[in-house]
Structure 1
Amino acid sequence: MDSRSIIKEDMVKKCLKSDKGDCAVLQSFQVKDFLKKGDNYANLVTSVLVNYKMGGQDVEQSYVVKIRFLDDLPDLKESNFFQYIVPDLNQELKDIGYSTLNIPKIPLITNNDGQLIIFLEDLRQRGFKHVDRKKGLDKDHSLLLIRALAKIHAASVLLQQKINSKEKLSLLSINHSDERAPKFIPYHPIFTGLVGTVSIIAKQMGGYDSVAKYLKSLQPHIIDFFRKCFFSTEEKFAVITHGDCWSNNVMFRYDENGCPQEVMLFDFDIVMVSSVALDLNHIFFTSLSDELRRNKPDTFLRSYFDAFREVLSTTQTEMPFTFEDLKMEFKNLNRYGFLLGLIMISPMMREGGDPFQFNRINEDNVEEILKENEEDLLKLSTNEAVSARFAEIFDMMLASGLVS
């Protein structure tokens, strides 16, 4: 469906009023697509260029608009997070003298004929840019991201201490891979197919027969695998997690020398209460540069731990876990990181297009799409850089003892 037929004038007026106040008078607006093919996989995303008058002056403002089609309850999680939980998290941070969460402003969230429409601040107007996801994040970028993520996690610990927090956090309890979420079922064969294809790649590369065998045995149980990773969380590690924290879902602002100064996180479609190590494994195995990922994760984890502790220390709140606890939890969820790292090689390394084809899949074309995905990934795996990435994670799986 064309975004121009979905975004209405009354929505733009409400967004403008929420963002700029009653004195802002809409003059005109234009829907402008800006994403390259393959930049977003599960939503319709566009932008709206708004012209308005304010105090007798003509002003131009841009908003990013994200559109989800409401087939089931899981699609409400991101809007629940923005509307009911983010304000409380920000208040927790303000109360201790911290800056608010590193997420864009959300002037308007509205439902329209089965569509959830979210108007977001256009970060490009403040100089934020995407990174090259093929290169991965270097030390400076990753440190900013880790600290921003630790702030979300730690603020959620403070929020969970409040009497009424459980009711609000229950708004995040329906997860995409939960059996209560039928919306996830169409995605199931895609992930199953991807794991099967990666097992073929491991077999073809040679020297990874045990990895291929492990992935093949995991293939029929992939959704149960995700459920266990998401929901089998010790209380001391339980925080509000992003759920899909990789380099495509963050933007950075730079100084005049090109050094990153600030990071923003977005796309909270899979936000949930789960283990801190879920997000950490996601970042580590999908988004760090080769150099950082090949080092032991201790430095990466120490930066996160110190940032998390810094937030809690301002309220004399005791750390729920030690650094050694964190290292062990991270290692225990490496199985999740390995699998995500393998599945995400396709969107990370290809030039464009939708490697998952979430928006196309239906009961009638499942087999066709799975075949297309398999052929595309097998072809991509012949690229030297892609092959090296697969080999690196296969080697890590063997070294970890997960695969004998």
Structure 2
Amino acid sequence: MAQFNFEGDIAGLSDRQLEFVNKVVSEQYLKVNKVVFEPLGKTGDNFMSNVKRISIEGEDGNLKMVVKIAPKEEVIRASTHTQVMFTNEHIMYKEVLPKFVSLQKAAGVPAEERLRYAKCYGSLNEAPDEMILLEDLNELDFTMLNKYESLSNECVKSILKNFATLHSLSYALRHKEPAVYEQFKNKLTNTWPLMPQSPVFAMQIQHVEMAVLSLLDDETHKSLIKGKFEGMFKLMTKLAKEEDGKHFVIQQGDGWTNNVMFRFQGDNLMQSIMIDYQGSGNNRPVFDLLYMIFNCTDHETRSKNFYDWLQYYHTELDRSLSNFGLKANYFYPMDQLDVDLKRYGRSVFGLCLMLSNILMRDSKEAGVIMEALKSGGIEKTMEAFSSHSLQSESVVRGKKRIVGLIESFTQFGLL
């Protein structure tokens, strides 16, 4: 196979990765003249992979793709569970999502109501050269929103509708083809419960707890957190080991603002698409709901809409299941959702507190963390996570986020 003319930002790509990109590009039948690699996004937009845009120029047309590339540094791969993450996404894009859409087609679901995901042009699942090439949704006028700002009620409901569709297809598949569901479930790995299994977990949690506490003034707020971080994450591990019941689904697993793209016409939201499935695994639906709501919105927006959002999700779950002659009250009744809110509340609270120390950083501060990880020194990395390394704007954002989380979880009785 002839090698195409690669230009631009190809530093760090291995020969195997370039060979794979060459193969994928050749399958597009564009009579390619050149392929240009460009960096995409800023440091901190995606901690789990390096993201680039490929612009393909051909005699029979042009095409753009987004390429997610796994880090090669062993210390980063170990600390972020890179191999597990990319395997999950490989399985989701190549097997699970296509199967879900085929179920909808067979049930006669109209095209505009089917689960929408970025087209996968190719996925290389060979450590340490993992990469995945996806449709560039920017070309279809989808955009990423500001991670520092709360998502609107409209945007949250759009994501909840996506979750309801995704979860309903898990239930439909388990009902119609239980053996296939079991195969998918066994190939995927819940990533968040892996954190407490790390040898340096206790040290990491101690530093994160101190960083969070340093941003708080109210002693009541501090008492809700102090000495409890490790227990919150151990609870997550305990919940993940529960016997799989009929309520479990294949979750998206990492539904924060940068992992969803939105398309607007003027001020009107037309559609949202989830673009990251590295955190997918077998879990209860409530995890996706809590994780997204508390990582993507502020306390004021949650206070006005929280219970309406839960009811909206359940209504959409029932509507999507009705395409298969099924009912939400059988697979995931509202009273079970209420029970799961309480059971998962504390562990998601701890996870959101930890992420608040990461997601509110600007690109420069995020770069400091990545460089510390690359150096391999745990002490240097923990120092980078401390609040002392934050600029004043990040401190204000982080404090507001953390206080809002405490107030919301307290208001809704989730602690």
Superposition TM-score, scaled by structure 2 size = 0.83
State the match for 1:369 in structure 2: 381
CA root-mean-square deviation: 3.0
Percentage of matched positions with identical amino acids: 18
Structure 2: state its 5+ residue gaps: 1-9
State the match for 1:33 in structure 2: 39
Cα deviation for residue 314 of structure 1 reads: 1.7
Question: Is residue 2:338 matched to residue 1:327?
Answer: yes
In 2, Cα distance between equivalents of 1:15 and 1:356: 34
Question: Is residue 2:131 matched to residue 1:121?
Answer: no
In 2, Cα distance between equivalents of 1:47 and 1:339: 34
Describe the SS at the equivalent of 2:59.
Answer: strand
Kindly provide the amino acid, as one letter, of the partner of residue 43 in structure 1.
S
State the match for 2:225 in structure 1: 212
Q: Bigger CA drift: 318-327 or 270-279?
A: 318-327
For residue 136 of structure 1, the aligned residue among 147, 150, 156 is 150
Question: Is residue 2:181 matched to residue 1:172?
Answer: no
In 2, Cα distance between equivalents of 1:240 and 1:108: 22
Describe the SS at the equivalent of 2:369.
Answer: coil
State the match for 1:14 in structure 2: 23
Question: Following superposition of structure 1 onto structure 2, how do residues 88-167 of structure 1 map, counting pairs within 5 Å?
Answer: 88-98=99-109, 99=111, 100-111=114-125, 114-161=128-175, 162-165=177-180, 166-167=182-183
Question: Following superposition of structure 1 onto structure 2, how do residues 4-403 of structure 1 map, counting pairs within 5 Å?
Answer: 4=13, 10-18=19-27, 20=28, 23-54=29-60, 59-69=61-71, 73-74=83-84, 75-98=86-109, 99=111, 100-111=114-125, 114-161=128-175, 162-165=177-180, 166-173=182-189, 175=191, 177-178=193-194, 189-202=203-216, 204-213=217-226, 216-219=227-230, 221=231, 223-232=233-242, 235-255=245-265, 257-295=266-304, 297-319=306-328, 320-352=331-363, 353-354=365-366, 357=369, 360-361=372-373, 364-376=376-388, 383-399=395-411
Kindly provide the amino acid, as one letter, of the partner of residue 143 in structure 2.
K
In 2, Cα distance between equivalents of 1:189 and 1:292: 34
CA gap of 1:325–1:234, structure 2 versus 1, over 3 A, is farther
CA gap of 1:313–1:356, structure 2 versus 1, over 3 A, is farther
Larger helix proportion of the pair: 2
In 2, Cα distance between equivalents of 1:398 and 1:39: 29
Q: Bigger CA drift: 227-236 or 270-279?
A: 227-236
Describe the SS at the equivalent of 1:169.
Answer: helix
Kindly provide the amino acid, as one letter, of the partner of residue 394 in structure 1.
I
Superposition TM-score, scaled by structure 1 size = 0.85
Deviations 1:216-246 (A, max 9, x none): 2333x56523313434376232001111111
Describe the SS at the equivalent of 1:102.
Answer: coil
Deviations 1:356-377 (A, max 9, x none): 9367427941011102211347
Contact 1:278/1:333, CA 8 A, preserved across alignment? yes
In 2, Cα distance between equivalents of 1:31 and 1:187: 37
In 1, Cα distance between equivalents of 2:409 and 2:393: 18
CA gap of 1:224–1:94, structure 2 versus 1, over 3 A, is same
CA gap of 1:323–1:49, structure 2 versus 1, over 3 A, is same
Kindly provide the amino acid, as one letter, of the partner of residue 252 in structure 2.
H
In 1, Cα distance between equivalents of 2:264 and 2:131: 30
Contact 1:50/1:60, CA 8 A, preserved across alignment? yes
Q: Bigger CA drift: 92-101 or 238-247?
A: 92-101
State the match for 2:6 in structure 1: none
In 2, Cα distance between equivalents of 1:374 and 1:51: 45
Contact 1:153/1:239, CA 8 A, preserved across alignment? yes
Cα deviation for residue 89 of structure 1 reads: 1.0
Total equivalences in the alignment: 389
In 1, Cα distance between equivalents of 2:246 and 2:393: 40
CA gap of 1:118–1:300, structure 2 versus 1, over 3 A, is same
Contact 1:66/1:119, CA 8 A, preserved across alignment? yes
CA gap of 1:275–1:315, structure 2 versus 1, over 3 A, is same
